[in-house]
Amino acid sequence: MSLFLSAYAAHQAGRFQEATDGYLQVLAQEPQHADALHLLGLLRADAGDPASGEALMRQAIAQSEDPVYLANLGNLLAKQGRLAEAEAMCRRAVELGPRHVPGHYNLGNVLMERQRFDEAEAAFLHAVEIDPHATGALNNLGTIYVRDKRFSDAYAVYRRVLEIDPHYVHAHYNLGLLMLRTDRIEEAELALRQTLAIDPAHVDARNDLGTALRLLERPAQAEAMYHEALERRPDFADAHWNLSILLLGQGRYEEGWPHGEFRYHAGRNTRTDVPQLDYPRWQGQALTGKSLVIWPEQGYGDYLQFVRYVPLLKAQGVKHLALICPEPLAALLATVDGVDEVTTSLKPARTYDYWSFFMSLPMLLGTTLDTIPASLPYLRVPPGRLERWRDRLPAEGFKVGLVWRGFTGHQNDDARSLPGLATLAPLWSVPGVRFVSLQKGAAEEEAARAPAHQPVVPVGPDLADFADTAAVIAQLDLVITVDTAVAHLAGALGKPCWVLLSKYWTDWRWMQPRSDSPWYPQALHLFRQSRPGDWDEVVQQVVAALGSRVASRNESA
């Protein structure tokens, strides 16, 4: 056997040092041996020396523009984040070798990294057209299809991969994630358990299996699975976060808050950015005579829920308390007792003694299920706002505000939002009710074009901020909403509010299976799906409750 073939055999057998020595011997005799240069480059790169690997691979390409060399160098450049160079290299590979499957596959990967998903899809489809058994390309097509919400297509390609290779662990895992995403939770459990059967070290699968078990209302098993993930990877931020969701949802706040602090740690899929400031983060130090700024994070509802902690901070002696928040919240949050300053700038004009995140306040102030600061209302309508809206609202009848869709960019919006206003049509069967749409965003147009049998006053387009929304809510009798910031706003105003919740993707603060909220006692009532995706049953419950509420009011009038 030749010296090169001996080295190559060692390489294929995983004897990498022997292969390295062999390739070096080949190059000592034949410095321009392209295959030896290329393969030694791969070994050097895999051993943690990408610069040496790149240099050797470029030498190989100088001897022969082989599509294999070009595609592998493109992959190496992509791993270093040099995506434009990687794309150029992969495109050259498929230009010279139009039927070279790894070239198309690597090009697709680079294009995915560059967020050019349509082009990436085309590259993967080229690979599959050449080789229908190209499992990597098929698997990545599934990823693109999930992103585009083409869930049936994604399911089909994952199944196709597993028909080709029943032990292809990435397809089992991705299928599990898809089943989670589409509320087929029992199937998600099976796919994730299969992932772990093939690869017991797959920590991400343990974390996601924990979520599946939580959604299936098997909390003890879910908790055990999260702990197993954390035993294998103690700094696994997503597992800490998911464990916090489980614990907080059970009311085990003392245990849950610390895990929730991992929301801003490196590695979180949806990480909270930590500001780089010249003053320290508040970690419970004495606050008497100090200034404190509460830093923004998360969504509108989180500000509205946790701004209740401002009076507690002032009671600890804070001299100057500032809030940073998005512009739509500024006027409303300024009404909270104890707020000295509200700004919308992430570069405040002054400095403070300390800063803290909004959502860290419950932990820092030792909140338990029994000590939630739940005195309502803690928000007030700013002066002059009520008059602005009085003439826009129905003068008579039982006035109900509606929100049936949330922010479309929310990761669980498909589950938490209703399909449309038509889903609520049975509510119009209750006599004496006048409906007001508080809907902002994508559903504003739907409210403006409500059918004749669902008359609704569409104030949403003219709501400039949450202070306006608060002024409208204050003049209503009831708010009916899906899980959005409006639920928190109504609760913080002490206004009766009915919240419609999905079967699976409910937030921790709604505490399955409760129908009330300890955060908004007497104000909020929760209506839950008993079957995933079935809003009709929920709406029928709301119709009955609304009829009773209106009848009771009429009797007492």
Distance of alpha carbon 229 from alpha carbon 263, whole angstroms: 17
Does residue 415 register a pLDDT over 90?
Answer: no
Residues 368-404 pLDDT 10s: 999 999 999 999 999 999 999 999 999 999 999 999 9
Would you give the DSSP letter of residue 408?
Answer: T
Instruction: Write down the pLDDT at residue 268.
Output: 73
Instruction: Write down the pLDDT at residue 557.
Output: 64
Question: At 267, is the pLDDT very low, low, confident or very high (cuts 50, 70, 90)?
Answer: confident
Lowest mean pLDDT of 149-163, 260-274, 349-363, 535-549, name the range.
Answer: 260-274
Rounded to an integer, the average pLDDT of 7-31 is: 95
Question: At 412, is the pLDDT very low, low, confident or very high (cuts 50, 70, 90)?
Answer: confident
Distance of alpha carbon 538 from alpha carbon 550, whole angstroms: 18
Instruction: Write down the pLDDT at residue 163.
Output: 98
Rounded to an integer, the average pLDDT of 424-442 is: 96
What's the sign of the alpha-carbon dihedral 42, 43, 46, 49? negative
Instruction: Write down the pLDDT at residue 298.
Output: 82
Distance of alpha carbon 126 from alpha carbon 104, whole angstroms: 7
Rounded to an integer, the average pLDDT of 468-494 is: 98
Query: From edge to edge, which strands make up the β-sheet containing 341-343?
Result: 341-343, 320-324, 291-295, 354-357
Give 166's contacts (C-beta < 8 A, 6+ positions apart): none
Rounded to an integer, the average pLDDT of 42-47 is: 96
Q: What percent of the chain has pLDDT over 70?
A: 99
Distance of alpha carbon 519 from alpha carbon 516, whole angstroms: 9
Distance of alpha carbon 269 from alpha carbon 410, whole angstroms: 14
Strand partners, 134: none
Distance of alpha carbon 90 from alpha carbon 96, whole angstroms: 10
Distance of alpha carbon 118 from alpha carbon 99, whole angstroms: 20
Instruction: Write down the pLDDT at residue 441.
Output: 84
Residues 199-255 pLDDT 10s: 999 999 999 999 999 999 999 999 999 999 999 999 999 999 999 999 999 999 999
Residue 162 neighbours by CB distance under 10 Å:
19
Residue 435: name the closest of 399, 386, 486, 387 by CA: 399
Does residue 408 register a pLDDT over 80?
Answer: no
Does residue 271 register a pLDDT over 90?
Answer: no
Beta strands in 301-369, from DSSP E residues, in sequence order? 320-324, 341-343, 354-357
Distance of alpha carbon 404 from alpha carbon 427, whole angstroms: 13
Give 117's contacts (C-beta < 8 A, 6+ positions apart): 111, 144, 147, 148
Rounded to an integer, the average pLDDT of 135-149 is: 97
Residues 87-128 pLDDT 10s: 999 999 999 999 999 999 999 999 999 999 999 999 999 999
Instruction: Write down the pLDDT at residue 134.
Output: 98
pLDDT, mean over the chain: 96
Does residue 411 register a pLDDT over 90?
Answer: no
Instruction: Write down the pLDDT at residue 364.
Output: 98
Does residue 273 register a pLDDT over 70?
Answer: yes
Distance of alpha carbon 321 from alpha carbon 351, whole angstroms: 12
- DSSP output for 110-169: HHHHTT-HHHHHHHHHHHHHH-TT-HHHHHHHHHHHHHTT-HHHHHHHHHHHHHH-TT-H
Does residue 138 register a pLDDT over 90?
Answer: yes
Instruction: Write down the pLDDT at residue 165.
Output: 98
Rounded to an integer, the average pLDDT of 144-168 is: 98
* Pairing, β 457-458 against β 478-482: unpaired
Rounded to an integer, the average pLDDT of 16-36 is: 95
